[in-house]
Structures are given as structure tokens and as C-alpha cells.
Structure 1
Amino acid sequence: MILTLSCPDQRGIVAKVSAFLFERGCNILDAQQFDDQETGQFFMRVVFDADGADREALRGDFGALADGFKMKWTLRNRADRYRVLLLASKFDHCLADLVYRWRIGELPMDITGVVSNHPAQTYAHVDLSGLDFHHLPVTKETKFEQEAELWKLIQETKTDIVVLARYMQVLSDGLSAKLQGRCINIHHSFLPGFKGAKPYHQAHARGVKLIGASAHYVTGDLDEGPIIEQDVERISHRDTPEDLVRKGRDIERRVLARALRYRLEDRVLLNGRKTVVFTD
């Protein structure tokens, strides 16, 4: 099982959690913790074997301990898979990469569907066999109705996580709020620089020597959500904007895949406008 928690820092948290698991016949396999001295918050992720424990009683008993420390916490069986909805627009490289990694078992999740504002033939080169595809076209005039359909789909499919795999539509403040901490976006730039449209062209105009990509949680502020993962690649003055776009596709794929894997493994904890990511 995987236990994650955050709470105001104080002495004895690790000892109390460890003793709690020991007393119930659990064996800790991996434990990571972080004390943010700037905010006074404590974060912890524990992977443990609970074969000899009553899991429902474990959950109930831990609630009492958590209340004493004012914890925000989750407790999940590692065999339980998150339900993930993938959203994409014209560009298909991130979608294709996530589906491939899912098919080979690298990303342990259940895909509840693929949503696009473009028709299915846009993804002729992506193996979407066995996946539910939903074409939800959108214009400025129909955005409210389209997002209502999207939210209904998220609810009906019991989706846990929404991934914007180069979905080139800005979610409304209302939908962003509903998906707080549940929606991951890949931005084709090394945030906080070059936000908004055509960041590679912005970067080229500024003569940058590094380009990158950032996976972050979606909030009501465009490209301002807590960052989960980033990566960069060196470029030169010889590279055109088209070269940057081509090289950027590779960065986007690997950054989004890593960020999603971290989320699927409960490695990402929110810390205000930032995240704590317990990498492996």
C-alpha cells in the first residue's frame, strides 16, 4: 500500500507513523519525507506491505492518528489503478507516446477515453483500438456547452486524472477549479518563461540556448500551475523555429510521461503553488 501525507511540521511524526504500521503487522518497504522549513509543512510517502493487516481497520485507525497531526492524507492499495482521461488536439505525439507506454505496461492506469476537439481521423497514426474516442468540437461560442459535456464525461467514467496531452484549449476557471490537483498539462516551454501560444517561436526570437518543456497542474491562471516535472535540451543559433518544434516534441513526450508516472505512483504532493515530488 502507499500512504502519503502532509501536515504542519512537528517532532515525532515519522516515529508515530512507523510505530502505527509496525503495531498492525505492516512492513515498510520504502519511506521518503521532506520538511519544508520555509512553510513549516512536512511531507511523507510510505510504501508498505500490509498483507497481515485488516486494511479497512487500518484506514479507519489511521484517520484518528491523522486528525491529531492535522494531516491531509491518502492511503491506496498499489494494485488499484487510477482512471485516466486523455485530451489532445491536432498534435498527436504526446497522445501516441502515452498510449504506447500504457500498452507495454509502463504506465499502470486504466484509460477511460480519449477526447479531442478534432475528429478521429486526425489520429490515423495512433493505435487507439479498444479505447473510447470522443469528438467534442469547440468554438468560442460553444465553449461553455463543450466543457459541460466534458465534465459530464469525466463524472460518468469516474475519471481520477485528466491529462492534457497537447490539448490546445484553455480550460475555463470553473472547470480548472473542479479539476484542482487532478489535471496535468504539458506546456512546450521551460516555465515560467514563454507562456501562452507559440513558445518555441518566442524562444527563437529571444535567441535562447536551451529549450524545454514543463508538466504542471492546471489552475485558473494560464501556465501558472504547480510544476511537476521539467527537462531541457541545448540548441544553437543555427536552429530554426521548426527545428525547435521538432526537438521539443521529444522533450514534451518524456516530461509528460514522467510527470504522469509520478502521479500514478502517488509521488506528487501539493505544496501551495509548488509540488513536492518524491522521485524514485
Structure 2
Amino acid sequence: MNRWWDYWRAVGGRISWDRSLLRGLWVVPWLYGRSERRPSARPGSIAFYPQPGLPWYTLPLAMRRTAIRQTRDLKSADAVMMFDDRTRSDLTPPDVSGRLLNLRATDISKQHVGDVFRRVFGYDVSVDPCVHIGPMVEKADVNGVHDGRIVTGPLETAQPGQSYQRLVESVIRPGVTEDLRCVCVGGKVAVIFRKEKAAHQRFSTVYLETTLCEANTVLSAQEQAQVAAFCHAMGLDFGSIDILRDHAGDGRIYIVDVNKTCMPVLSMAVGELDRALGLIGAAVEDLVLGPAVEA
């Protein structure tokens, strides 16, 4: 009981009850109930610390389709997922015998994401709001707020607690923008949820259509290598990154957000979502049961 109470005390106030989340009230139980574990010569296990791996998160749902089981025993687990949805984490690593995942993913603020992106990709997504001329995106620096809005620079002063990013014109046809939600496992893009939004709702969680894509159909080999380098620099062993492609401008991709405790895209067709979870699960098996990769 304390485990559940501690969870709701930590994250309950940050949950946004939108249409997609309400749909999850039946989608998640359906996905959880129909999952079938794959046989394996060596079943593995993952423990979650400090927050529990509850069934509405992507990783526990994906694990239901694998030979990887969830355990509370940190000592016996093949891997321990550092599972903390705070923007900045200051956790003391637990004493474990298995692999610690997301141990170095301690800062997913927009500012840090922008700094790492610049180092890896060689160009900027972040802008200085007091210098930038023209439209830009102002959004909270912390995780999971969805409060983005377009403002015009230069500003006299930056707003406290806000970050500022380039306005990436991800318009794919008049009035419609494209977001790429990439689920990354061990630095590789396991699946991409391609989300179309009305341009006037580009910062919302309301989607016109969501489709499942393979990485090779959306990202070049060079871009996938850059994404892998970005995940390594962030310390992200498992999580999702949000990518926008500037279709109206330079054609390059921009990573605008990182989430290490991601949830599935509940707005898409449940059959496709079930398939996506299977692909993510297979990648998780490779990560947990495969040879250790140098951090």
C-alpha cells in the first residue's frame, strides 16, 4: 500500500487528464490482459527503483510480451531500472548485482537536452530569447507540462523556469504538423510513433492520426547514429525522445524532448499499439539478456 501511496504522492499532481489518458482506462487493461510471454531458455528480470513499474508505462507493458519478468528484489534482478519521473534526479544508486539502467539519465530538462543535442548534432535547437529575432517556442523547462507556445523574439527578459527553442516547421501539409516519438532501447530506435497534429494544436496531446513506423523509413542511417550518440550522452538506456523534422526549412531533425518514464501513445489503434509493444519488448530482451555494453 505504501508503494502505491508514495507513487501517487510523487506523480499524481503532474498527470493531465486529457482524452488520450481517459482512453487508456480501457486500452491499458486490454493490452495487459492479452499479452503473451515468449518462451526463453533463460528468462530475465527487471526491478524498478524508486518508483514502481506500473502497467500504464511503456516498459512494463512491453515486458509482458517477453521472457523478462518484473521483480521487487533489487539484488536478484538481471537489471534495475532507475525509474524516477522528476526532471532532475539525485538518487543514490541501490546496491545491486545486475545492470543499472538509466543510471546516468539524471537531467532531462529542456536546457540540458538542448546542450547535449548541440554537442552531438553540431547545431542548435535552443535559442537565446533575448537575442533571437522572430518566432520561437517558449515552454517549461521541466518534464511533462505540455505548455508550449509561440512567442516572438527578442524578449526583454527570459521568463523564469522557461526554456526557449527554435520553432521547427514540421508542417507536412497545410495546417498539419508531424511529431516523431521514438522509443529508444540501448541507443537504438525500436519503434517510431508518427503523430499528426493540427498546426494550431502542435503543442497539445490531441492527434489527428498516429501511425507506427520503423526507424529506417523515417530516419537516415546517419541520423540513427546521431540519435544513438545522443542517447549515450544523455545516459538514456531506455526512454522516448521527441523529434521534429524541419520540412519547411533545412530538412534536418531536432530533438526537442526526452522522457525516461514514457507511457504508450494511447490514441492509436490498439492492434498497432500491441505490435509496437512487442517490438519494444524484443529490444528490451536484447538489452537485458545480451552482453553488457560499456556505458
Q: TM range, normalised to the smaller chain?
A: 0.3 to 0.5
Task: Tell me the TM-score normalised to structure 1 length.
Answer: 0.33
Task: Tell me the TM-score normalised to structure 2 length.
Answer: 0.32
The structure with more radius of gyration: 1
